[in-house]
Amino acid sequence: MRSKADEILLNVVEIFHSIQGEGANAGRSAVFVRLSNCNKNCWYCDTDWSKGETMSVSQILAEVNKFVGKKDYPNNLIIWTGGEPTLQLTDEILSHFSEYYNCIETNGTNPVPSLIKYISCSPKVKPEVLRKNFKHVNEFRYPIGDGDVLPDIAELPAADNYIVSPIFLGEAKKRFEQVDENVKYAIDFVKKNPRWRLSLQLHKLLNIP
């Protein structure tokens, strides 16, 4: 018999098992489910989110299960990313993944489903929009380039971690080159603003997915 999980369909770019490369969970084992599409078009975007294939929730569950077991909670991380995962992800979908520790990487344009356990927000909107969408997030992570100005922490919703990551550049959609000016600027920023901390995109340094 067909179940609800067979009927709910999502557009998925890729599903892979790696380590979380960025932020406060950097280094942790995680299954990434990259959903198609975004509502922004950042010049430094490193992801081809326009492609993808249709998958049912059952198919996604089967794929995730190949990599990570249900019994390892809360160390069985699923990272819903994109593109912008809030364009597709709902609590109804997440109810089928309740035995996993569900994390999201979001650009802050929309509120996230309530069943998400860990919100990593890399904002592409103004603080006032963030205040409307969130009471609290687990981490704010700003990609930062030489001379970029960040909002004051007082303007942002409450967060457990405030993180800057220097923007790396290189070939389009494969931006793995360190930009020394951005790294220096990020380090000086953290020295002057010690509530913020530095996170490097480990997966780019290690050349892994």
Ligand X SMILES: Nc1nc2[nH]cc(C(=O)O)c2c(=O)[nH]1
Respond yes or no: is residue 45 known to be catalytic.
Answer: yes
CB atoms inside a 10 Å sphere around CB 142: 19
* Residue of 22, 38, 168, 189 marked active site: 38
Report the Cα–Cα distance between both ends of the chain, in Å, rounded.
Answer: 36
Q: Which stretch binds ligand X (CB under 6 A): 17-25, 67-75, 137-145, 158-166?
A: 17-25
**From CA 196, how far away is CA 188, in angstroms rounded?**
11
Respond yes or no: is residue 181 known to be catalytic.
Answer: no
- Say which residues have a Cβ less than 8 Å from residue 71's Cβ, sequence separation at least 6: none
- Say which residues have a Cβ less than 8 Å from residue 4's Cβ, sequence separation at least 6: 57, 96
Respond yes or no: is residue 32 known to be catalytic.
Answer: yes
Site residues for ligand X, 74-133, by CB under 6 A, read 81, 105
Q: Do 17 and 68 contact (CB within 8 A), yes or no? A: yes
* Residue of 47, 48, 67, 99 marked active site: 47
Q: How far is the CB of 31 from ligand X (least distance, A)?
A: 11
CB atoms inside a 10 Å sphere around CB 168: 19
Instruction: Give the bridge partners for 97, in sequence order.
Output: none
Question: What b-and-e string marks burial along 7-18, b requiring 16 or more CB atoms within 10 Å of the CB?
Answer: ebebbbbbbeeb
Q: Which does 84 bind (CB under 5 to 8 A by kind): ligand SF4, ligand X, none?
A: ligand SF4
Site residues for ligand X, 30-69, by CB under 6 A, read 32, 47
The one among 15, 100, 124, 144 contacting ligand SF4 by CB under 6 A:
124
Q: Do 95 and 40 contact (CB within 8 A), yes or no? A: no
Under the criterion CB under 6 A, does residue 199 sit at the interface with ligand X?
Answer: no
Q: How far is the CB of 9 from ligand SF4 (least distance, A)?
A: 21
| Residues touching ligand X, count (CB under 6 A) | 11
Site residues for ligand SF4, 74-93, by CB under 6 A, read 82-84
Give me the 34-73 binding string for ligand SF4, x by CB under 6 A, dash otherwise. ----x-xxx--x-x-x------------------------
CB atoms inside a 10 Å sphere around CB 95: 13
Binding stretches for ligand X (CB under 6 A): 18-22, 32, 47, 81, 105, 203, 209
Binding stretches for ligand SF4 (CB under 6 A): 38, 40-42, 45, 47, 49, 82-84, 107, 124
Q: Hey, which residues are catalytic here?
A: 32, 38, 42, 45-47, 105, 203
